[in-house]
Structure 1
Amino acid sequence: MRVRTTFYSWMMAAVGVVWLVQPACGQREGAGVPRSAPAGSAVAEVPEPAREFRGAWVATVANIDWPSEPGLPAASQRAEADAIVRGARERGLNALVLQVRPACDALYRSSIEPWSEFLTGESGKAPDDGYDPLEYWIALCRANGLQLHAWVNPFRARHFQSKKPDAPSHISKARPDLVKTYGEFLWLDPGEKDAQDHAVRVILDIVRRYDIDGVHIDDYFYPYPKAGVAFPDDDSYRRYRLGGGELARGDWRRSNIDGFVERLYRETKAAKPHVKVGVSPFGIWRPDHPAGVKGMDAYEQIFADAKLWLERGWMDYCAPQLYWRVDAPQQPFGPLLDWWVSRNLKGRHVWPGLYASRVLPNEKQRWEPAEVVRQIEERRKRAGSTGEIHFSIKALVGREGGGMGGALSTGPYAGFALPPATPWLRAPALPRVEVEPGRTSRAVLTPAPGAEGQRLVVSSRVGGEWSHRVVWTREAAVVIDAAAGASEVAVRAFGRTGELGPAARAGLGGAR
């Protein structure tokens, strides 16, 4: 059955018709049959777009990035989101990592947890016109050719910058036995099975209901330690020992987080195999790994054994937070990145987190944009790392970024890049693609079975140069817009795990 919906306004200038046809029975996943060139003709290959993950975190906790303040009218929230996504595209990014659950709350419609105070100014209060922010961000990113990853904090239950009481449905009120006070925070106790069950249930609810590209957790597992203050998990540890457990408390805490990370990966793949799972750990696993590195011991102090998770392949990408200068004497960027790459035994992606916000004027040890560009250049020297994620988007698209966004868009991100493929994941079958030449406003789409939408890479040839862009659509009728002055257009299906189908081509004066 064909389904017709409204065209995106930016797809309306027609220069070619694209037909996406369901693959024939028995054809392998990802196969497509392009229109063949006439016999005896010499047709140059359509170049493959570059591959590089160019992401940025969009932090909602404490209104770091979005919305700019709690309780803004929904229309203002959407306008700010529009500006962020448009700015991200203009600066050459191809992915955003949006924080949707900062503290056991929701910046999306949820029947499990209350609306976030950072969104509406009051825990449990819905946006004033009933819109779903996550749905809106997904649609925005699709329209601008970007991936959208949903960022979740699994165990933090209240941030110290929250101002108002939590709603009655908040986990701290509904299950206070699972929540501990630690300093100025509330925290789910990872040693409580019900706490882990709750976190996994929330994340899988997002994965199942939303058409996201990835789910993402950062470095907050057990809280960062407060001097002289122990995390109050005596009760859960005592029950563990009474039940026959023999691990020392530190090992037990690590086993809690290890089990959570493995379970999250396994159950996400059972729910939607193509959704990527990303983890962004603290940038130092343990001091002296590699030799000479100094800093916090994440293994001992927040009980995060990210080395194990990467070695076991319990993630699709690892984004260690390498928030130091290239030449930092105790945390050198290159050797740290090399160490993480060396632990990537399963061939996952390694995309370091870069502290782009150090360019902001309120930073005590402010960087110039050239430092971040230098880090990208250093990362590109290593075949084992194919992208980065910037913290945070404010530094790239905000007015206070000191030229950071421009340094990217005119420098390392000047050319187009697709996110790297994740070929170890199972994805929906690609459609076949055919292109009709000539100027027309009509196209036909028959999606592959079970597809939530189709992505295309549209390539245009102007003279001897090719340019590329991503188009996403649910349309039965699709209009493809080639670059101005193009003599030829090529279209490829772009799968959910990043695989590209063969190019179907049309000369704008005749078929190719």
Structure 2
Amino acid sequence: MLSEIKLLCWGLIMISLMTMVSCSQKAGPEKRQEPALTTEPMRGIWLATVAGLDWPPAESLKVTTDADRIRLQKRALTDALDQMVKTGINTVFFQVKPDGTALWHSDILPWSDVMTGSVGKEPGYDPLAFMLKEAHSRGIKLHAWLNPYRVSMNTRPETVAALNDTLQSSPSSVYALHPEWIRTASGRFVLDPGLPEVRNWITGVVAELVKKYDVDGIQFDDYFYYETPQSPLEDETTYREYGKDFPDKASWRRNNTLLLIKEVSSTIRALKPDIEFGVSPAGVWRNKADDPLGSDTQAGAPSYDTAYADTRQWVKLGLLDYIAPQLYWPVGRKIVRYDVLAGWWSDVVRGTDTRLYIGMALYKIGTSSAIEPDWTIEGGVPELKRQLDVNDALPEVDGAILFRQAFLNQPQTDKALKYLQNRWYKAQ
């Protein structure tokens, strides 16, 4: 009787599977396969490598042998992962493309200088491959974090010389290979987002990562259009060539970022649909005073107007698996309240397939601020608790990501870290 029941059940399963396949085929190429969901909330942290903010340790570049450098750098990564485990963190967002260089064995980008001090110099190991293996062995997921457009952190003559020197090896810097793509903005060399070739190149970088490495996700940070009044992005020529169908340059720029997100999203889903694709934008999309759809805030630099990133639209179009807005203000900051923004983003993702992870300002905890005094009251623990309680009270919030890893080991965050360990680690 049991065998007959098993056979019957198996037959029903096969019929169900065949029906699912048939429906999937009829749905056509737009049918989306969702990344595997987990019931565990996101408890993440960003690990920044640009300018060596969190890694590698500065002392590793002062030793006399490559073996000692590699040993120190690997130990710093495993120590960081061990600290994450003790805190209850389950996902690390590892910055593998801080500029126009890579922390993985790339056929497109030269090696990053953060490991050796020289752009393009072989570091003697693959940091991303090492980090993936060590993170997964500890039960920690790894999302590869990329800055899409930045090429360098400055425009000094020695930087120009170092980037041009990569022509003597392979792969060479995009700065040297495609000078026609390069602009200056905010005192840095950047790629022009208005050029279709640039967007295709960035998508190719992401495709390489997805194909070669078993990452759990891909994340872009908030640096799309990034300029200052003193150092604007000079893209008037590109606008004249490609922006004829748009009412103004701002609309054209926002369409350029939309095209990039569409291209990257479709590429990841075609290659490995179980990999999450997300963006971590500035916390304010638009202020309500400027747009009735905006948040009840008075922020000075909404991402829609300054980064030309219509992140709300990306969510509504289903282009992202998750969004992680950077809500780096306390609940008591009246013009940009944490709870107001968390509620606004919850409204945005409601009814969509996009998960919401809140970016939280670990770096501010314990730091004295006249306009945000709550960060120092009782070691910042009451403020941290308030924000996590806000997250837990909103069913659309699927977790939090802390900025950033080095502040797990700073004296000013000691009390907050103990609180996190009690709240996150013991809840596992």
TM-score under structure 1 length normalisation: 0.68
- One-letter amino acid of the structure 2 residue matched with residue 58 of structure 1: L
Matching residue of 2:364: 358
- One-letter amino acid of the structure 1 residue matched with residue 319 of structure 2: W
Looking at structure 1, the residues matched to 426 and 329 of structure 2 have their Cα atoms a distance apart, in angstroms, of 24
Alignment counterpart, residue 111 of structure 2, candidates 115, 137, 141: 115
Structure number having the greater helix percentage: 2
Name the larger-Rg structure: 1
- Structure 1 residues 135, 398: closer, same or farther in 2, change over 3 A? farther
Q: Does 1:158 align with 2:120?
A: no
Alignment counterpart, residue 334 of structure 1, candidates 324, 333, 339: 339
Alignment counterpart, residue 43 of structure 2, candidates 19, 34, 54: 54
- Structure 1 residues 27, 350: closer, same or farther in 2, change over 3 A? farther
Correspondence 1:101-112 to 2 at 5 A: 101-112=97-108
Does the CA-based 8 Å contact 1:88-1:397 persist in structure 2? Answer: no
- Structure 1 residues 362, 170: closer, same or farther in 2, change over 3 A? farther
- One-letter amino acid of the structure 1 residue matched with residue 327 of structure 2: L
Deviations 1:270-312 (A, max 9, x none): 0101000011011000112223443312211110100101111
- Structure 1 residues 161, 363: closer, same or farther in 2, change over 3 A? farther
Correspondence 1:171-186 to 2 at 5 A: 171-186=174-189
Deviations 1:174-225 (A, max 9, x none): 11110101232111000011111111101110011000000001100001x3
Looking at structure 1, the residues matched to 214 and 396 of structure 2 have their Cα atoms a distance apart, in angstroms, of 29
Alignment counterpart, residue 369 of structure 1, candidates 373, 377, 380: 380
- Structure 1 residues 363, 213: closer, same or farther in 2, change over 3 A? farther
Alignment counterpart, residue 132 of structure 2, candidates 116, 138, 141: 138
Alignment counterpart, residue 194 of structure 2, candidates 174, 191, 197: 191
Structure 2 residues without counterparts, runs of 5 or longer: 1-9, 18-37, 63-68, 289-293
Matching residue of 2:324: 319
Task: Give the Å deviation of 1:400.
Answer: 5.5
Task: Give the Å deviation of 1:393.
Answer: 1.1
Task: Give the Å deviation of 1:372.
Answer: 2.2
- One-letter amino acid of the structure 1 residue matched with residue 363 of structure 2: S
Matching residue of 2:241: 239
Alignment counterpart, residue 355 of structure 2, candidates 316, 329, 349: 349
Alignment counterpart, residue 206 of structure 1, candidates 205, 209, 222: 209
Q: Does 1:86 align with 2:63?
A: no
- Structure 1 residues 363, 207: closer, same or farther in 2, change over 3 A? farther
Choose between structure 1 and 2 for higher RCO, CA contacts under 8 A separated by at least 6 residues: 1
Q: Percent identity?
A: 28
Structure 1 residues without counterparts, runs of 5 or longer: 1-22, 30-48, 417-512
Correspondence 1:186-335 to 2 at 5 A: 186-223=189-226, 225-241=227-243, 244-288=244-288, 289-335=294-340
- Structure 1 residues 283, 292: closer, same or farther in 2, change over 3 A? closer
Does the CA-based 8 Å contact 2:155-2:188 persist in structure 1? Answer: no
Looking at structure 2, the residues matched to 93 and 160 of structure 1 have their Cα atoms a distance apart, in angstroms, of 33
Once the two structures are overlaid, the 10-residue window that deviates more, 315-324 or 160-169, is: 160-169
SS at match of 2:273: coil
Task: Give the Å deviation of 1:347.
Answer: 3.0
SS at match of 1:402: helix
Alignment counterpart, residue 94 of structure 2, candidates 89, 94, 98: 98
Matching residue of 1:147: 141
Task: Give the Å deviation of 1:412.
Answer: 4.3
Looking at structure 2, the residues matched to 267 and 410 of structure 1 have their Cα atoms a distance apart, in angstroms, of 40
Deviations 1:452-490 (A, max 9, x none): xxxxxxxxxxxxxxxxxxxxxxxxxxxxxxxxxxxxxxx
SS at match of 1:330: helix
Structure number having the greater strand percentage: 1
Correspondence 1:31-50 to 2 at 5 A: none
- One-letter amino acid of the structure 2 residue matched with residue 408 of structure 1: L
Once the two structures are overlaid, the 10-residue window that deviates more, 350-359 or 154-163, is: 154-163
TM-score under structure 2 length normalisation: 0.81
Once the two structures are overlaid, the 10-residue window that deviates more, 337-346 or 99-108, is: 337-346
